[in-house]
Amino acid sequence: MKKVILSIFSVAALSTATLFAPVQTGKLVCGRTHHLEKTRSTADFDAIIRENKKVVVDFYAEWCGPCKKLSPVIDALSKEMNDVVFLKINVDQHEGLSNKFGIRGIPTLILFKDGQKVGQTGAKTKDQLKSYIQATLK
CATH code, domain with 29:
3.40.30.10
CA 89: distance to chain centroid?
A: 6
Q: Where are the alpha helices (DSSP H) in the chain?
A: 42-51, 65-80, 95-100, 126-137
In the prediction, which pLDDT does 135 show? 97
What is the set of active-site residues? Answer: 64, 67
In the prediction, which pLDDT does 10 show? 34
Q: Is 68 helix (H, G, I), strand (E, B) or coil?
A: helix
In the prediction, which pLDDT does 85 show? 87
Number of domains in the chain: 1
In the prediction, which pLDDT does 3 show? 47
Domain that holds residue 19: 4-137
Q: Is 30 helix (H, G, I), strand (E, B) or coil?
A: coil
User: Along the 138 residues of the chain, how does pLDDT read in single tens digits?
Assistant: 444 455 443 333 332 222 333 444 455 545 444 445 554 677 888 888 888 899 999 999 999 999 999 989 988 898 888 888 888 888 988 898 999 999 999 999 999 999 999 999 999 999 999 999 999 999
In the prediction, which pLDDT does 40 show? 66
Cα dihedral 135, 53, 87, 32 sign: positive
Q: Which residues pair with 116 in a beta bridge?
A: 113
From the list 103, 114, 86, the residue with the least C-alpha distance to 30 is 86
pTM: 0.76
CA contacts within 13 A on the Cβ side of 75:
10
